[in-house]
Amino acid sequence: MIKDLNDKIIDRNYGSIPHVSTSKMSQQADKKIGISQENILTTKTRDWKDLIIVTEKLDGSNVGVVNKNGVFLPISRAGYHTDTSTYEQHKQFTKYVNKNIHLFNWLPVGWRVSGEWCVMAHGTIYDITNESPFCAFDIFDHKNNRILYLDFVKLCSLHSIPTVALLHIGQPISIKNSIKLLGSGIYGKPEKPEGFVYRVERENRVDFLAKWVRHDKEDGKYMKDDIWNKGYDIACQGWQASG
C-alpha cells in the first residue's frame, strides 16, 4: 500500500526508446542506436538466436497497471498514481482501470502492464469508436525485466488485454519495408501513423529496442486545445462515470 497518493509507486513505468537513423528526433535528450545495432534490425542478425519484432507505435500517453503488494494501481509514465496527474486524461485512466480491474488482477506481485492510453489527441488524431482506449505493448516482471514478446501476447490474449498491432516477426526487415507494412496505420484510422518500434530478443531475453517516427509528426500539437480522439464518448461508455 502507499501511505500518500502523491508518493511515487514505482521508480518509473517506462523509459525512453532510442531512435533508428532515419527517425525524427524531437527532444534534446533523444538518442539513436549505433549502426551495428541498426544492422541487426534491418540487414543481418548476429546469428540464428536473434528474433526481430516490429509493432505499431501509438501516439498517446504512456500508462500502466502495477501489482503493488497485492493492490493493483494505475500509474503514469513517471511512476505516480494517475489520479495525481494534472491531466484529465490520466484521471480517466484511473476510472478505466477501476471499471476493468479484471483485466489486470492476475498480475503477480511486482509485475506491471505498460501501454498507450489513447483517449486524448497528442500529435495524432485517432478514431477510437471501435477501438480499446488502452493498448498494451509490454509486461515487466518483479525484477523490472520485459517478458518475451510471445509470452506477452499469450498473457494479454488470455486476459483480454488489447495490444498494439504486430507488423513483423522473424528475420531483419528494412525501415523502408516496415514503413510499407505500417501503411496508413492499423489502430484508429489515424490521419497519419506515428511510426513503429523494433524489438530484438535473444537467448530468452529482450536485448534492445529502437523506434522510427515519421518526420512530419508534430509532438503534442493538439494538446493545447484539449482535443479528445474521435469516438471517445462511445469507446468510454460504461466506465467513464465509474469512480
**Which CATH number covers residue 59?**
3.30.470.30
Q: What is the pLDDT of residue 243?
A: 44
Q: Is residue 13 one of the residues assigned to a domain?
A: no
Q: What is the pLDDT of residue 218?
A: 87
Helix (H, G, I), strand (E, B) or coil at 54: strand
The predicted-structure confidence for 203-232, as pLDDT tens digits, reads as follows 999 999 999 999 998 888 898 888 999 998
Determine the Cα–Cα distance for residues 99 and 80; give it in Å rounded to an integer: 19
Q: Is residue 93 one of the residues assigned to a domain?
A: yes
- Report yes or no on whether pTM surpasses 0.75: yes
Q: Is residue 132 one of the residues assigned to a domain?
A: yes
Determine the Cα–Cα distance for residues 129 and 152; give it in Å rounded to an integer: 25
Q: Is residue 41 one of the residues assigned to a domain?
A: yes
User: How much of the chain is helix, strand and coil, in % rounded to 5?
Assistant: 20, 30, 50
Sheet holding 206-213, edge to edge: 166-170, 50-57, 195-202, 206-213
243 residues of the chain, pLDDT tens digit each: 555 677 899 999 999 999 999 999 877 778 999 999 999 999 999 999 999 999 999 999 999 999 999 999 999 999 999 999 999 999 999 999 999 999 999 999 999 999 999 999 999 999 999 999 999 999 999 999 999 999 999 999 999 999 999 999 999 999 999 999 999 999 999 989 999 999 999 999 999 999 999 999 888 889 888 899 999 888 777 665 444
Q: Is residue 10 one of the residues assigned to a domain?
A: no
User: Which residues are registered as beta bridge partners of 55?
Assistant: 166, 197
Q: What is the DSSP string of 209-235?
A: EEEEE-TT--TTTTGGGTPBPBTHHHH
Task: DSSP letter for 165, please.
Answer: P
Domain enclosing residue 61, as ranges: 35-224
Q: Is residue 234 one of the residues assigned to a domain?
A: no
Q: Is residue 17 one of the residues assigned to a domain?
A: no
Determine the Cα–Cα distance for residues 84 and 203; give it in Å rounded to an integer: 39
Q: Is residue 191 one of the residues assigned to a domain?
A: yes
Give the chain's domain count.
Answer: 1
